[in-house]
Amino acid sequence: MNAVFPGSFDPITSGHMDVLTRAAKMFEHVTLTVMHNARKQGKHLFTLEERLEILRAATAHLPNVSVDSFSGLLVDYMRQQQKSIILRGLRAVSDYEYELQIAHLNRQIGDAETVFIMAATRWSFVSSSMVREIASYGGDVSEMVPRASAEALRAKFADVYAERSGQTVSPES
Ligand code: PNS
């Protein structure tokens, strides 16, 4: 059985990676599909091409995972690809209300079934938006994202990271 893991992935986090690697053991194939989230209109840090590049690098070691993008309704993508299982990760109860609504709607309008995997508790506080915010001030996000995302964030905020490392005063001085 195959599954589609849709999301904004701006950028992919360790929480996404945890859900993905566990799903890759359960499904024959998982497609990570970058989709448009109307609630995040104009708020993306990375372009679609950058996000795809990060996803390809972050998932290169997973042979049954591929990367794709689509700009319409998720259910249309599912139909087009002849897939019926949507995979989503849940971090905490706060995710549940939103995910429940979307899962029901996707079943109503497209007969697509949603399967949830609970992200490990160590990632329950990690979100792409928080990671972007920390990185925008030059903070260390290397534990919270795969290496490809960390490198892309460092490149995006190169000036801030350079300035912040210059400001750091070592305890001996
Ligand atoms: O990572 P995100 O932003 O939580 O992912 C949400 C996403 C992109 C999966 C969702 O917004 C989506 O499915 N967008 C495609 C448009 C669509 O089908 N909308 C109806 C369901 S909200």
> Probe ligand 1: pick from 40, 69, 91, 102, max atoms within 8 Å of CB?
102
Strands 113-118 and 29-34 come out as: unpaired
Q: Is 16 annotated as a binding residue?
A: yes
Q: Is 116 annotated as a binding residue?
A: no
Would you place residue 172 in the very low, low, confident or very high pLDDT band (cuts 50, 70, 90)? low
> What pLDDT is stored for residue 170 in this prediction?
58
pLDDT tens digits along 45-54: 999 999 999 9
Residue ranges around ligand 1 (CB below 6 Å): 6-8, 35-37, 40, 73-74, 102, 105
Q: Is 126 annotated as a binding residue?
A: yes
Taking 80 as the threshold, does the pLDDT of residue 104 lie above it? yes
> What pLDDT is stored for residue 42 in this prediction?
87
pLDDT tens digits along 6-30: 999 999 999 999 999 999 999 999 9
- Ligand 1 atom nearest the C-alpha of 70 is 15
Domains of the chain by residue range:
2-121
DSSP secondary structure string, the chain? -EEEEEE--TT--HHHHHHHHHHHHHSSEEEEEE---GGGTT--SS-HHHHHHHHHHHTTT-TTEEEEE-SS-HHHHHHHHT--EEEEEE-SHHHHHHHHHHHHHHHHHH--EEEEEEPPGGGTT--HHHHHHHHHTT---TTTS-HHHHHHHHHHTHHHHHHHHHHPPPTT-
> What pLDDT is stored for residue 165 in this prediction?
85
Strands 65-69 and 113-118 come out as: unpaired
Shortest-distance Cα residue to atom 7 of ligand 1: 7
Mean per-residue pLDDT of the chain: 95
The CATH class given to the 2-121 domain equals: alpha beta
Catalytic residue among 14, 128, 132, 149: 128
Distance CA(142)–CA(19), nearest Å, equals 18
> What pLDDT is stored for residue 171 in this prediction?
59
CA 162 to centroid of ligand 1, rounded, Å: 35
> What pLDDT is stored for residue 166 in this prediction?
83
Instruction: Enumerate the β-bridge partners of residue 87.
Output: 115
Distance CA(93)–CA(57), nearest Å, equals 31
pLDDT tens digits along 112-151: 999 999 999 999 999 999 999 999 999 999 999 999 999 9
> What pLDDT is stored for residue 168 in this prediction?
57
- 122-123-124-127 Cα dihedral, nearest 10 degrees: 160
CB 150 within 8 A of CB 142: yes
Would you place residue 41 in the very low, low, confident or very high pLDDT band (cuts 50, 70, 90)? confident
Taking 60 as the threshold, does the pLDDT of residue 36 lie above it? yes
Distance CA(140)–CA(89), nearest Å, equals 24
